[in-house]
Structure 1
């Protein structure tokens, strides 16, 4: 029989619009990861989007720092300047934390650039994002480096397309990094699989979008624009509530 413990639930919802951010907050999200273009995996949002959403919700907002699309996560000197400039602007505007990751040409962590971001963001927390999942470096060694650099969290799907398929690595990471780095399962987390992910990994935080296809007030259907070829998704308030209920129901046994 496992000992009782107090679980402080942490549901992070990734959003890329005002509508999604407000829906997530109403649904009970504990933290937002704010991006633009989630369809590309999430890019740096506009400062206007951040400031407006910050004035409308009370939960913490972590800002994505990713200056362009592409899954190499190797940044040029000019792109590094963009990241650090964005970081400064969002920090001054009241960001609660950041989400960032960078790799070198060998597919390992870009230590020097990560050090620069951690230093510039201090004392705010920084999450290392799913650049981890396309890296070639040994996952345990890389997680240890991420912790040593000063990141507080690691968002990962366990180096699979979805977290449900990477739960064994996620479980191992949580066990190995306990007390040093918070491991957050993310990617493809749904109502149907959240309980299985929690029961296997014992994760105390999780990350999802709780998205549904946006329905427009009038039909958009022409040669270039329609919801099949250019889908638009928004965070669904009720889905957020259901995810939170699954989380809370699972951890009630430990209270």
Structure 2
């Protein structure tokens, strides 16, 4: 009888609706501070969001640790582009994971694929081993795999804690069916964190329709540089010249309104 009571209590806990957890993707310390001020549960700390996020410097991470009041995960991605890495790139990722673990961040965000579009199981396991006891999130490299169901099983077997996905589509709304199925496949073995064009107008709908209880968005805003002098004859990167005098910042008001919309939604487990 006691076992039955415990079992029923456990089921009640597992099926009880809960408030979603919100992660904000930020570029640098200023973005992290804006996200935490707006009420984010967690941040993903990156450099160069124009490239989808690459590994920030150790100096940025140290400053973030000094000032943060919320946990943050750090992306470990040596460059933009695909997720098929050379051996030297992979070794650099391992060293970055070890350094971040020793610094004491909350977690790392990784993603390695094979040439044929599968999770690189060997390298993923190695990165997970190097990261522990930190939490490990597998980023949207998942969305570039050829078989998302197979990828879910690979991530579970590798010991990954969380996967970030837009349902293999440009936005979460476009990928809603795959997101819902991914949540069901993952069950309680892997947390599915939904992303992709989320804002105050759609985040509640996406959470309700997928059954996911973690969501991720960036809420970036472009502002003019504070530079008074502009040299029109030279640029420092591969973007348009005007981009040299623009800044991408985290919009605190947009973060706040999106979080409020998400928290108005009690998530029913899928």
What TM-score results when the alignment is normalised by the length of structure 2? Answer: 0.86
Instruction: Give the whole-Å Cα distance in 1 for the aligned partners of 2:166 and 2:248.
Output: 21
Change (3 A) 1:41 1:237: same
Match of 2:131 in 1: 121
Instruction: Give the whole-Å Cα distance in 2 for the aligned partners of 1:243 and 1:26.
Output: 13
Aligned with 2:187 (options 174, 178, 189): 178
Q: How does 1:14-53 map to 2 (within 5 A)?
A: 14-53=25-64
**Do the aligned partners of 2:18 and 2:266 also contact (CA within 8 Å) in 1?**
yes
Aligned with 1:105 (options 96, 115, 120): 115
**Do the aligned partners of 1:220 and 1:226 also contact (CA within 8 Å) in 2?**
no
1:241 aligns with 2:253: no
Instruction: Give the whole-Å Cα distance in 2 for the aligned partners of 1:140 and 1:247.
Output: 27
Superposition deviation, residue 187 in structure 1 = 2.1
Aligned with 1:147 (options 133, 144, 156): 156
1:213 aligns with 2:229: no
Instruction: Give the whole-Å Cα distance in 1 for the aligned partners of 2:77 and 2:267.
Output: 37
**Do the aligned partners of 2:46 and 2:75 also contact (CA within 8 Å) in 1?**
yes
Q: State the secondary structure of the residue aligned to 2:67.
A: coil
Instruction: Give the whole-Å Cα distance in 2 for the aligned partners of 1:173 and 1:52.
Output: 36
Superposition deviation, residue 98 in structure 1 = 0.5
Aligned with 2:76 (options 65, 69, 82): 65
Superposition deviation, residue 49 in structure 1 = 0.5
**Structure index of larger Rg:** 2
Q: State the secondary structure of the residue aligned to 1:165.
A: coil
Count of aligned pairs: 249
1:164 aligns with 2:173: yes
What TM-score results when the alignment is normalised by the length of structure 1? Answer: 0.91
Instruction: Give the whole-Å Cα distance in 2 for the aligned partners of 1:216 and 1:76.
Output: 36
Instruction: Give the whole-Å Cα distance in 2 for the aligned partners of 1:39 and 1:27.
Output: 23
Gaps in structure 2 of 5+ consecutive residues = 1-11, 236-240
Match of 2:104 in 1: 94
**Do the aligned partners of 2:20 and 2:267 also contact (CA within 8 Å) in 1?**
no
> CA RMSD, aligned part only?
2.1
